[in-house]
Structure 1
Amino acid sequence: MQLIKNAKILENNHLVTRDVLIDGKKIVEVSEHNHSEFDTIDAKGAFLSSGLVDVHVHFREPGFDYKETIATGSQAAARGGFTTVIAMPNLNPVPDTAERIAAQIKLNETNGMVHVKQYGAISADLTASKVSNIAEMAAAGAVAFSNDGKGVQTADTMLQAMLAAAQVDKPLAAHLEDDSLLHGGVMNDGEQSKKLKIPGITGLAESSQLARDLVLAKATGVHYHVAHISTKESVTLVRIAKLQGVNVTAEVSPHHVLLSDTDIKGDNALFKMNPPLRSQADRQAVLAGLLDGTIDMIATDHAPHGTAEKNKAFREAPFGITGIETSFQLLYTHLVRSGVMTLETLLQRMISAPITTFKLDAPTGVAVGATADLALFDLDHQETISVADFESKGKNTPFIGWQVYGKTRATWVDGKLVYQSF
């Protein structure tokens, strides 16, 4: 047995001090004082939560192991306080058949330090117009379907994918990007792109495809999930669709909540992601959507790259930033400590909503009988984000040097201590 002493936990939206006893994979006691002599960790007043859940990560293995592996990505997840993640299918080979899904799940389970669930690809190589066999991939263990990294370009492909996903009651997560509207853009199309003389991407590339998909989603009844929403028009469309009874959910990444294109001061590819950092008005709209529940959850879109790649000019470097190690600290610091959001709401967006939305078998609270997937956060510890501390292979983040609170002190998965920093 393991005993976590002197931890703060949330009970009825109040922080209280409790001792938590773990036996095997389960929590067997939550009490004011436990005097048993077991393997003990003194939390010293740090905050104990059920583990965070991220429905959008890129762990790069197989095919791009120089960027990340399942082992390094999941260790980074544990350092960030995450105990369950869902990995995207932009791999080589792409998991677009039942056999490939089964092989990928086995690899995830073998190499993962946390629970690594798997998306199946909507279509072969993420680009084909013919939809993959979604029913067979679901039977093989895919928890959801996406062509993340590529927008589904034709309405009929999306319609057939929705019909198939609805048949097996699995979410379909859309990367929204109309290729015909990109015009070689690499950052948001606005005053800043013109000032920097970097080609821009119009927000219409996202919102116009979203409008199409919401009409199709209403017709099919599929659970349609919007990945990394970034524009004010998209937030409005999701808000209206929910009022009309469309089965739609949405996620936002921390960088779209905390940054805008005005933060890009020069040719620095650490600020290059897809969708790009949008305008300040867009940032305010996604934050408002997150607060009022239009946007259901936070997902990091953790996208590690090699250092040499991201050291290239903005036009040539790949899209994507890392995020799984910094997301809780950034959001706790800039939303909770600033009074914009309560801790309860942040945890709902980072734990309960992802679990409910994707029907995951994961705990939503620190309670007797719950699986001991846990994270211990030191809410009073201030530190500077430094890539020297990262577990991820990817060091590509624009948040280097930011001052944050909420350091992860320990993470448990199925009752096993997989990360600690005391």
Structure 2
Amino acid sequence: MNTLIQNAIVADRHVFKGDILIENGRISALGQHLSAPAGTTVIDAAGATVMPGLVDVHVHFREPGYTHKETIRTGAQAAAHGGFTTVVAMPNLDPVPDNVTDLAALIAKNHHDAQIHVQQFAAITHGLRSTNLTDYAAMKAAGALGFSNDGVGVQDAATMYHAMKGAAAVDAPIVAHIEDNGLVDHGVINAGPKAQALGLPGINHVSESAQLARDLTLAEATGVHYHACHVSTKQSIELIRDAKARGVHVTAEATPHHLLLDDGHIPGDDPMFKMNPPLRSEADRLALMDGLRDGTIDLIATDHAPHTQAEKTGSFRDAAFGIVGSETAFALLYTSFVRSGWCTLKDLIGWMSTKPADAFGLDAGRINIGAPADLTIVDLDHAYQIDPRTWRSKGHNSPFIGRTVYGKVLWTLVDGAVAYQEEGTL
């Protein structure tokens, strides 16, 4: 199927007003007043902005094992609704994809059930919590993009060292959930004045930075590509900045919620604000923003973590950690960062599309002739309210419900096919 997008503002490394012709799933022409073969589908963007499809390297689709929270189908629909054309799913599932049979079955289901590109991380260790490494060569050959125990920090240094050596040997990244369980000590909220005011057990910031310091030392020794998930503290930013200066192959992500919220924004004992890592201090949030601007933080990832209403009801003490993000990330960041003048749209596209694609070697993130026609068309000019009744995700657990934002996704195209279309668009 061929498609012509007309009357668009095309935003990538350069911005121009014009058209995009898509043939056989790839971009075949860029310009103004393009003509197309007979039978071509025409999308009139009517002045809306076309961007490279967004890329999210950290989502939880919950299938298999937890389909009451999300499925591959609903997670992919939510991602498309949020403008994402490629995502990478985490392996904290049941069964855990820690062997070729389960991994291959999961990858096949990703391809079958999702209308976007869904890549898959396999487990670092069997069952996530063991010290027994999985077969990295076999898992990569079966399609694993890299290896992660997300949701669980690797507690044993020797295990992580050997994991890094094994991943480096097959040229695959280690994608780390950074958390020392002993230092977390059953906390549920960032340690500090808010935790004290609410009478809740706090999580010390060193639970992240202490394990990160260990891992960066091991990454330097092994030469592995080490990716730090959901970085949240000022100390972590300083450690990553220093490691990059030494030539350590480290990339790092920050989430929209850690960039936009800190524990001062928590209104009370409201579990919609409970996440892991927790919302930190304002100083930590500002350090994350500085790290994003100077390149210490490479990219933004949502950590989309759907839960049921029952799991997010009650108190911080008992509720599940995590919030959804696929359907709100771009609009929240565009509204808060671009419209405020803190960064440009080009910067945001870099952090949410080009740079995550580059970090993990994905064929995505650019509008070029010959590139896959993975595109997101957004209305940047009209405000709307975040309303979970419009979401495709099963999870409605978000502290951002009701916010007024700009940047509504109108179309999401994957390999030239429509993966999402806003009701009422032509």
Q: Which TM-score applies when normalising by structure 1?
A: 0.98
SS, match of residue 251 in structure 1 = strand
Deviations, residues 104-131 of structure 1 (Å, cap 9, x unaligned): 1001001111100000000111100111
| Identical residues among aligned pairs (%) | 54
- Residue 33 (structure 2) aligns with: 33
Equivalent residues of 2:302, 2:326 under 8 A apart: yes
Tell me how far 1:157 sits from its aligned partner. 0.5
Q: Distance in 2 between matches of 1:317 and 1:365?
A: 40
Q: Deviations over 1:50-92 (max 9, x none)?
A: 1000000000000000100000000000011000000000000
Matched residue, 1:265: 267
Residue equivalent to 2:19: 19
SS at structure 2 position matched to 1:125: coil
SS in 1 for 2:215: helix
Once the two structures are superposed, what CA deviation does each residue of 1:151-175 show, in whole Å capped at 9, x if it has no partner?
Answer: 0000001001000000011110110
The Cα of 1:311 is off from its aligned counterpart by: 1.2
In 1, Cα distance between equivalents of 2:47 and 2:262: 35
Deviation string for 1:194-215 (max 9, x for gaps)? 0111111001000000000010
How many pairs align? 420
Q: What one-letter code is carried by the residue in structure 2 that aligns with 1:239? A: R
Residue in 2 that maps onto 1:4: 5
Task: Report the more deviating stretch, 321-330 or 367-376.
Answer: 367-376
Counterpart in the other structure of 1:171? 173
1:64-143 equivalences under 5 Å are: 64-143=66-145
Partner of 2:155: 153
Deviation of 1:134 (Å): 1.3
1:417 corresponds to: 418
The 2-side partners of 1:241 and 1:402 are apart by: 37
Pick closer, same or farther for the CA change 1:11–1:212 going to 2, 3 Å: closer
In the superposition, relative to structure 1, how do residues 110 and 11 fare at CA in structure 2: closer, same or farther (>3 Å)?
A: closer
Match of 1:293 in 2: 295
Q: Which residue of 2 is the match for residue 398 of structure 1? A: 399
Find the aligned partners of 1:245 and 1:28 in 2 and give their Cα distance. 38
Question: Which runs of no fewer than 5 residues in structure 2 stay unpaired?
Answer: none
1:308-365 Cα deviation digits (max 9, x unpaired): 1111321111100000110000111101110111111111111111111111122x32
Structure 1 stretches of 4+ moved >6 Å: none
Unmatched 5+ residue regions in structure 1? none
SS at 1:4's partner residue? strand
Partner residue in 2 for 1:54: 56
Conserved in 1, the CA contact under 8 Å of 2:219 and 2:248? yes
Secondary structure in 1 matching 2:251: strand
Q: Give the TM-score, by structure 2 length.
A: 0.97
**Structure 1 residue 389: deviation in Å?**
1.0
Which residue does 1:367 correspond to in 2? 368
8 Å Cα contact 2:12/2:366 also seen in 1: no
